[in-house]
């Protein structure tokens, strides 16, 4: 029986708005599919595991975000992981720091890890509120069919380079700031969706797990989750 190894990266620096719940949601969905998981909690100062299958990063305050980006660049393990095809899933600050640069607390560009060809600067106005977005239906690897729902709280506008696709198209909210939301490149996904994102979007959780195990997973719908999704979508889409 294979085990999906999930690295929860620097949750004490990158875990605002309940983003730690993404790892809990992955564990929950994997167990629903009878897939065994092991969670490796990587606290700041520890070396990133080189053998994990899925690396999860959450959102964070500006200063914590700079500290996390610097530590990750020094460690080098996340870049190696992305290069060898491991899955990387990152929210908000974690998303921004995967790019080339993002604003520090004073607004000056701080260097990111450079895994994604994206750059982030300041939005004219902070984006706070519910976010709903239609998933990229062109990317067949992604293969998402359900509208993505969550909430955002960030000051960053994120610009994608030519090799990076949008994760989704915004229906309500701000996302990247240009009508798109999030980024996907290979098996690296970044998004502004908090919620926690994977608790509110189990199809996305299943996709990340399916990339690791190398097969599609059957659809399992949980009524409580579906009810929450519909309630939240109604708030923003009517």
**Least CB distance to ligand GLN at residue 65 (A):** 5
Interface residue with ligand GLN, options 69, 87, 92, 98 (CB under 6 A): 92
Interface residue with ligand GLN, options 53, 62, 203, 206 (CB under 6 A): 62
Helix (H) / strand (E) element for 159: namely strand 148-160
Interface residue with ligand GLN, options 6, 23, 54, 93 (CB under 6 A): 93
Which pairing describes strands 165-172 and 180-185: parallel, antiparallel, or unpaired? antiparallel
**Least CB distance to ligand GLN at residue 107 (A):** 11
- Let me know the angle formed at the C-alpha of 135 by 132 and 140, rounded to the nearest 5 degrees: 170
Q: Which of 33, 101, 159, 194 is catalytic?
A: 194
Contacting ligand GLN within 109-148 (CB under 6 A) = none
Question: How far is 172 from 95, CA to CA, in rounded Å?
Answer: 20
Q: How many CB atoms lie within 10 A of CB 75?
A: 16
**Least CB distance to ligand GLN at residue 220 (A):** 30
- Residue 235 found at the interface with ligand GLN (CB under 6 A): no
**Least CB distance to ligand GLN at residue 230 (A):** 25
**Least CB distance to ligand GLN at residue 236 (A):** 18
Would you call 92 a catalytic residue per the annotation? yes
Would you call 197 a catalytic residue per the annotation? no
Contacting ligand GLN within 14-33 (CB under 6 A) = 16
**Range in contact with ligand GLN (rule: CB under 6 A) among 34-42, 70-78, 136-144, 152-160:** 152-160
Interface residue with ligand GLN, options 5, 29, 101, 154 (CB under 6 A): 154
The residues of the shown chain that bind ligand GLN, judged by CB under 6 A, are: 16, 59-62, 65, 92-93, 153-156
Catalytic residues: 92, 194
């Amino acid at each position: 029986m294979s085990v999906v190894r999930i690295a929860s990266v620097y949750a004490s620096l990158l875990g605002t708005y309940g983003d730690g719940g993404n790892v809990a949601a992955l564990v929950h969905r994997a167990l629903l599919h009878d897939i065994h998981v092991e969670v490796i909690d990587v606290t700041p100062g520890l070396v990133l595991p080189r053998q994990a299958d899925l690396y999860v990063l959450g959102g964070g305050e500006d200063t914590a975000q700079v500290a996390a980006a610097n530590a990750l660049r020094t460690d080098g393990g996340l870049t190696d992981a992305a290069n060898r095809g491991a899955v990387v899933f990152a929210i908000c600050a974690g998303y921004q720091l995967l790019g080339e640069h993002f604003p520090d607390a004073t607004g000056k560009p701080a260097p990111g890890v450079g895994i994604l060809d994206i750059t982030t600067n300041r939005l004219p106005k902070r984006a706070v509120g519910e976010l709903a977005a239609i998933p990229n239906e062109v990317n067949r690897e992604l293969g998402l069919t359900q509208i993505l729902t969550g909430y955002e709280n960030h000051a960053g506008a994120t610009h994608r380079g030519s090799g990076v696709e949008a994760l989704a198209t915004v229906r309500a909210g701000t996302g990247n700031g240009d009508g798109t939301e999030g980024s996907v490149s290979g098996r690296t996904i970044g998004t502004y969706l908090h919620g926690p994102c994977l608790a509110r979007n189990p199809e996305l959780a299943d996709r990340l797990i399916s990339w690791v195990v190398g097969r599609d997973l059957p659809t399992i719908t949980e009524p409580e989750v579906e009810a929450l999704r519909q309630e939240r979508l109604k708030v923003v889409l009517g």
